[in-house]
């Protein structure tokens, strides 16, 4: 994947497919105080006419009556709103640029079992998708590989930086596994017979079971090498990569939508003694009692979709977050799971709010809740002293489509809100001016 990401940059530069990205910001070198705005901490309510102070990339104080250091740069944001940057909990940002151009798609490897694939090393920092996404207030994204049964590990990246390692907030976050369909597809376009579909499902499940069995055996053998008369075992990067999953440091992030998939995945995770996060989770509300009992969170995506079954109500996808909220199941809301439209993450949460999810819960579903599920809540997701100064300043509610993000900071660095969208806007605005002058 890393080699292909370098090829993307070369092709883009050689043939002019993409513009050069925005220049990354300089690290914060002096205190900054945002004064007079309404601060939405997410974790502790809101403070009106308040100040947020941050230095060296960290929030140092929040409140209405706090002392501002004499050396601080004061930025008056009266009438504005201050929020934590939003988080997209499922995407392939940085791994794909133009869907129709194969050389710019770096989301999967050949083969079915690839636990050693690392999403972060393949991220293209020059992607035009990154500035477009962050301009709408999304500052952190979980980018993940796909394809096969075990796709590799996902990484939480900040949407700013010179290199992939500079952008990486946490990696690995989880191991991506795709649970096979438990249904027999009888649609007219399905060319495989029922027997062939069953064989394909059993093959995927056998591959998954064998991979976890072999990884455990390998790791046990490697741990035994220190014992006397124990032979050395050749290093296998695939099974080394599964160690954090097997010791429950990170979860398996299971792509499962149907009820049968979810129930089978939960049973499998218990049998394997691994932590589990459900991704997609279209039918997760039907398994709400099970998920709550087992403490398994759901990354819902997308909200903006049509119902999967002809007999379902048109608003079935829109009401899923409310159903999980009512059932007490931990969840967060992600975008469409791709790259180019991930700037719309806040509007997926807004739709959930329009269909019953409390407004404050909708905001948490794209800030604090994904941070907690992804294990990065000590850094981002809310505005609290000691956390990263990853902040957006808006002229209204960020879940409202008419709201503009007017200022953005990632770890205290002031981020340019220019993007390919703004460049094109200015380009054709200038054309309009020239035509109007004739």
pLDDT digits (tens, 9 = 90+) for 48-101: 999 999 999 999 999 998 999 999 999 999 999 999 999 999 999 999 988 888
For residue 436, give Cα distances in angstroms to 113, 199, 307, 430: 60, 66, 47, 10
Q: Report, as an integer, the average pLDDT of 137-143.
A: 97
Tokens 């010791």, residue located: 247
Residue 408 tokens, joined:
């953005």
Contact 406, 393 (CB under 8 A): yes
Q: What is the mean pLDDT of the chain?
A: 91
Q: What is the pLDDT of residue 437?
A: 64
Contact 57, 139 (CB under 8 A): no
Which of 83-87, 145-149, 284-288 is predicted least confidently? 145-149
Taking only the tens place, the pLDDT of each residue in 172-231 is 999 999 998 877 777 777 778 878 788 888 999 999 999 999 999 999 988 887 776 677
Whether 43 has a pLDDT exceeding 70, the answer reads yes
Give the separation between CA 177 and CA 81, rounded to whole angstroms.
Answer: 39
| 42 conformational bin, left if phi > 0, alpha if psi -120 to 50, beta if neither | left
Beta pairing, strands 150-158 & 58-63: unpaired
Q: What is the pLDDT of residue 1?
A: 59
Q: What is the pLDDT of residue 103?
A: 81
Which of 16-25, 217-226, 363-372, 379-388 is predicted least confidently? 16-25
Contact 266, 290 (CB under 8 A): yes
Beta strands in 222-293 (DSSP E): 252-256, 276-280
One-character DSSP codes across 173-216: EEEEEEPPP-SPP--TT--S-HHHHHHHHHHHHHHHHHHHHHHH
Give the separation between CA 319 and CA 342, rounded to whole angstroms.
Answer: 20
Top-level class of domain 86-380: alpha beta
Q: What is the pLDDT of residue 198?
A: 84
Contact 394, 137 (CB under 8 A): yes
End-to-end Cα, the chain, rounded Å: 51
Specify which residues 75 forms β-bridges with: 34
Closest Cα partner for 143 from 161, 60, 205? 161
Give the separation between CA 204 and CA 113, rounded to whole angstroms.
Answer: 10
Q: Report, as an integer, the average pLDDT of 117-126.
A: 94
Q: Report, as an integer, the average pLDDT of 312-335.
A: 97
Give the separation between CA 56 and CA 65, rounded to whole angstroms.
Answer: 22
Whether 438 has a pLDDT exceeding 70, the answer reads no
DSSP 113: B
Taking only the tens place, the pLDDT of each residue in 337-361 is 888 899 999 999 999 999 999 999 9
Phi/psi at 195 (nearest 5 deg)? Answer: -65, -40
Q: What is the pLDDT of residue 7?
A: 52
Tokens 């920092």, residue located: 125
> Domain ranges in the chain?
86-380
């Amino acid at each position: 994947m890393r080699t292909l990401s370098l090829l993307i940059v070369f092709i883009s530069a050689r043939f002019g497919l993409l513009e050069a990205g925005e220049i990354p910001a300089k690290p914060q070198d002096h205190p900054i105080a945002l004064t007079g705005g309404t601060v939405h901490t997410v974790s502790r309510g809101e403070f009106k006419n308040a100040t947020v102070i941050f230095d060296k990339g960290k929030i140092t104080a929040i409140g209405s009556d706090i002392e501002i250091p004499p050396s601080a740069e004061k930025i008056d944001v009266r009438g504005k709103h201050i929020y934590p940057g939003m988080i997209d909990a499922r995407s392939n940002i940085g791994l794909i640029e133009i869907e129709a151009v194969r050389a710019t798609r770096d989301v999967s490897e050949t083969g079915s079992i690839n636990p050693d694939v690392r999403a972060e090393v393949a991220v293209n920092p020059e992607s035009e998708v990154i500035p477009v996404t962050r301009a709408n207030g999304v500052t952190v994204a979980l980018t993940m590989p796909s394809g096969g049964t075990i796709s590799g590990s996902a990484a939480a990246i900040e949407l700013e930086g010179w290199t992939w390692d500079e952008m990486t907030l946490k990696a690995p976050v989880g191991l991506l596994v795709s649970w096979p369909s438990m249904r027999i597809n009888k649609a007219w376009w399905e060319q495989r017979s029922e027997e062939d579909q069953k064989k394909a499902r059993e093959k995927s499940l056998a591959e998954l079971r064998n991979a976890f069995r072999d990884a455990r055996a390998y790791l046990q053998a490697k741990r035994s090498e220190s014992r006397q008369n124990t032979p050395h075992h050749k290093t296998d990067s695939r099974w080394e990569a599964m160690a954090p999953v097997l010791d429950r440091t990170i979860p398996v992030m299971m792509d499962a939508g149907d009820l049968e998939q979810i129930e089978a995945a939960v049973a499998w995770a218990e049998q394997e003694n691994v932590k589990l996060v459900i991704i997609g989770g279209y039918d997760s509300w039907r398994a709400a009692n099970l998920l709550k009992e087992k403490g398994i969170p759901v990354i819902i995506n997308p909200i903006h979709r049509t119902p999967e079954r002809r007999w379902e109500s048109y608003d079935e996808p829109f009401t899923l977050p409310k159903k999980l909220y009512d059932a007490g199941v931990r969840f967060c809301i992600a975008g469409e799971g791709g790259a180019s439209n991930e700037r719309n993450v806040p509007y997926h949460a807004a739709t959930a709010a329009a269909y019953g999810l409390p407004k404050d819960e909708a905001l948490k579903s794209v800030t604090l809740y994904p941070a907690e599920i992804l294990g990065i809540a000590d850094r981002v997701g809310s505005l609290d002293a000691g956390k990263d100064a990853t902040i957006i300043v808006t002229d209204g509610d960020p879940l409202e489509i008419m709201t503009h993000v007017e200022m953005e900071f990632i770890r205290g660095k002031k981020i340019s809100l220019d993007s390919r969208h703004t460049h094109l806007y200015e380009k054709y605005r200038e054309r309009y001016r020239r035509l109007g002058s004739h």
